[in-house]
Amino acid sequence: MSAAAARAALASLIAAASPAAGQVVPFAVAGDAIASPLAGLSGDAARGEAVVKNRETANCLICHSIPDPREAFMGEIGPPLAGVGARLTPAQIRLRLVDPTRMNPAAIMPAYHRVDGLVNVDPRYRGRPVLSAQEIEDVVAWLATLRE
């Protein structure tokens, strides 16, 4: 096999192993946490920061503030995310992103990696979680760096 063909084969293998962006991967909740990274993926903090700041997709800052003086008009519905990496473990952060109603049925924070049990979902988003497994891991990685 040529090197190029080997690379292509490897790339398609990786693509096959990583979950499609539009689907929810299986996960196990223990206590108030999801211990294992979703689909065994590893997160990238820089990408996670971009996800959190994206006003079209995750839109976290509609409700939360982050310690970044360049961000204007941040919300005050959820707790400030400054220091969240010191308050919570990555496993606890993961559950709070995936589906906070698993710990508190009255949670206001949207479930970012869930498709079941939702009502009247806009057809454009039906059957798809807000964030993919990779995006969740990226956001977990970035929030874990917010230690003060």
Partner 1 sequence: MIHRAVAALILAAGVAAASELRPSRDFLSPELRALQDDPSRHPGWLWVEDGEALWQRGERSCQSCHGGIGSMAGVATRYPAVAPDGALLNLEGRIERCRTQQQNEAPFGTESDALLSLTAAIAQSSRGLPMRVATDGPAASFIEQGRRFYETRQGQLNLACGQCHDENAGRRLRGDVISNGLGTGYPAYRLEWNTLGSLHRRLRACSLGVRATQFPLGSPEYLALELFLASRAAGLPVEAPGLRR
**Which positions touch partner 1 (CB under 8 A)?**
61-63, 73-77, 101, 105-106, 108, 110-111, 114, 117-126, 128, 130
Residue 16 amino acid letter: A
CB 115 within 8 Å of CB 21: no
Closest distance of CB 96 from partner 1, Å? 14
Which CB, 15 or 76, lies closer to ligand HEC? 76
Interacting partner of 139 out of ligand HEC, partner 1, none (Cβ under 5 to 8 A depending on kind): ligand HEC
**What residues have CB less than 8 Å from 92, skipping those under 6 apart?**
32, 33
Interacting partner of 1 out of ligand HEC, partner 1, none (Cβ under 5 to 8 A depending on kind): none
> 26-64 b/e with 16+ CB inside 10 Å = b?
ebeeeeebbeebbbebebebebbbbbbbeeeebbbbebb
Closest distance of CB 22 from ligand HEC, Å? 17
Residue 77 in contact with ligand HEC, rule: CB under 6 A: yes
Residue 79 in contact with ligand HEC, rule: CB under 6 A: yes
Residue 140 in contact with ligand HEC, rule: CB under 6 A: no
* Side-chain-side CA neighbours of residue 144 (13 Å): 18
Closest distance of CB 59 from partner 1, Å? 8
**What residues have CB less than 8 Å from 88, skipping those under 6 apart?**
96, 143
Residue 110 in contact with ligand HEC, rule: CB under 6 A: yes
Start-to-end Cα distance in the chain:
51
Q: Is 111 helix (H, G, I), strand (E, B) or coil?
A: coil
Give the interface with ligand HEC as residue ranges (CB under 6 A): 52, 58-60, 62-64, 77-79, 81, 84, 87-88, 93, 96-97, 100, 107-110, 112, 139, 143
